[in-house]
A and B are shown apart, each in its own frame.
Chain A
Amino acid sequence: MVLEIRNLSKSFGGLKVIDDLSFGVARGERLALIGPNGAGKTTVFNLITGVYPADSGGIFLEQTDITGLPSRYRTRRGLARTFQNIRLMAHLTVIENVMIAQYARAPSVRAMLQPVGFGRANRWRAEARAALAEAGLEAYAGEAAGALPYGIQKRVELVRALAASPHVLLLDEPAAGLNPAETEALHQVLEAIARRGVTLVVVEHDMQFVGRLCPRVVVLNFGCKIAECATGEIHADARVREAYLGSEELA
């Protein structure tokens, strides 16, 4: 297991948002985390990345307990994520946003003092530019990230997450707000990332997208795991049907 969640619980005030949740992700796997709105999917990501401390239970990355680690150390250990509501650094340019993430690979005072601003010859800048070019985003490299359209920002966020060379990539609704052509393009990109051996955990409502990308799903409802099965079998699961009753999300 590259990532393992054991008996994780989290409450906000009196509300239990994650209740005794356990699941594991194997190396190179593509797992989808699905469930109705408010099921706690993003909270799971926030617990895994250390945005919130867990009330109880454990989070293990490559067999190491990371439950109490501050977020930055989790990222440096190879965990990267994107956000449901994009969180690029608005005042930095696109290429600077990507270069920020490179630091997590080898953090040190010396790395912090490395020059990154001198023209195209700079190693880090060149690498960031190449990553942007690969994603078809080179034209935006010098633009302020906050000024770009939503779809572009989403793609930049993915490039940025990858710049940290993560082993595990958490994607929070990567296909939300994308048109069919963009969704297809995203699918191709994520397939390519997965082929490189990066483990993917995806929170997503678009079941067609999930069905193509992820062979296995974990279904959450009210913070509890109600099913863990092959993606093709969820329609057969009575509890999943009940959770989604009246909703068209599984249609």
Chain B
Amino acid sequence: MSGYLESVLVLLAINVILAYAAFLPMVAGQLNLGVAAFVAIGAYSAGYCSNSFFVHPVPAALAGSAVAGIIGWLVAFPILRTRGIYLALATFALNQVVQGTILNLDVVGGASGYPVPAHIGFAVVAAFSLAVIVLVFLAFRTRFGISVTAVSDDERAADLMGLSVRGLQSAAFTAGAALAGLAGALYAHHFNYIEAQNYGVLFSIYIVLYVLLGGTQTVYGPLLGAAVFTLLPELLRGSAAWRYVIFACLIIAIMSLRPQGVILKRSWFSK
């Protein structure tokens, strides 16, 4: 496999994990604009583990994911007290805080970036990505899957059905944070260099776009969204400077033609 193809496929695998990281809270009705913060937390804490404690990169990646999940769980309580646009703004602010903190953290290189020499190869990244896909698919076949959708449909009614709205929302938020952390940790160990500048809100918005483009109604949506977002700019590479213009126009076209996302539930067609 050529180096170029491999790096595209690694990005695809990582972007799929990222798409599910944004998808999980979104299905529970939360627009998380701070996904990149958890990516950074996962990347830096996994990198720190393998650099400073000489932990093998795979357990280090899992540790990074766990740290992101725990921090996600802790911030879920205050953040989930807010609703709608305020929740989006709170996660936006969280992204700024985390990014700013890392930029000032000299122990992980601060603004000059952080090299992570321990390497995770393509096969392992792909295996993690597949495992995440399988786990998410299984999760949405459980009561949890229909319950989070119920919560985003009608919180009040979900509560009256006996569901713990706050519990489901914080579970979805935490799981999303852990996945974001995993994606960050894999990225750090594959590309061996991370920079806090890259984990800004713009990156978070990109991840959210994967999901919105693919559709939030089914678990297939984020998969398609991540694939399109990763592969399309590469396919448009021929048109050099114009490729991002074409890409942006395509996104606007899809959003206006199919605002629910590309992939819909089957039952929606039979209306």
Tell me the A residues contacting B by CB distance below 8 Å.
Answer: 49-51, 70-72, 75-76, 81, 83, 87-93, 96-97, 99-101, 103-104, 107, 111-118, 124, 142-144, 147, 160, 164
Contact = CB atoms under 8 A, between A and B. Distances in A.
B157 A103 contact: no
Contact of A103 (B147, B217, B265): B147
B140 A117 contact: yes
Contacts of A49: 160
Given A112-B143, A116-B143, A71 B270 contact: no
A112 B158 CA distance: 14
Given A100-B147, A117-B141, 18 more contacts: A51-B160, A72-B161, A72-B162, A87-B154, A89-B149, A89-B154, A89-B157, A89-B158, A90-B153, A92-B150, A92-B153, A100-B161, A103-B143, A107-B162, A107-B164, A116-B145, A117-B140, A117-B146
B4 interface: no
A164 B143 contact: no
Contacts of B156: 51, 87
B106 interface: no
Q: Which of B145, B149, B162, B164 lies at the interface centre, i.e. has the most chain A CB atoms within 10 A of its CB?
A: B162
B144 interface: yes
Contact of A92 (B138, B142, B146, B159): B146
B263 interface: no
Nearest to B159: A71
Given A87-B156, A91-B217, A164-B161, A113 B144 contact: yes
B268 interface: yes
B81 interface: no
B146 to A, nearest CB: 5
Contacts of B158: 89, 100
Contacts of A118: 141
B147 A112 contact: yes
30 contacts: A51-B156, A71-B159, A72-B159, A72-B162, A72-B165, A76-B162, A87-B156, A89-B158, A90-B153, A92-B146, A93-B265, A93-B267, A96-B149, A100-B161, A101-B162, A103-B143, A103-B161, A107-B164, A111-B143, A113-B142, A114-B143, A116-B143, A116-B146, A117-B142, A117-B145, A118-B141, A142-B267, A144-B271, A164-B161, A164-B162
Contact of A144 (B160, B164, B165, B268): B268
A100 B147 CA distance: 6
B251 interface: no
B163 interface: yes
A91 B147 CA distance: 11
Contacts of B270: 143, 147
Contacts of A117: 140-142, 145-146
A44 to B, nearest CB: 15
A142 B141 CA distance: 15
A64 to B, nearest CB: 16
Given A72-B159, A100-B150, A144 B267 contact: yes
Shortest 3 CB-CB distances between A and B: which pairs? A104-B162, A117-B141, A75-B162
A72 B158 CA distance: 8
Nearest to A99: B146
Given A87-B156, A89-B153, A72 B140 contact: no
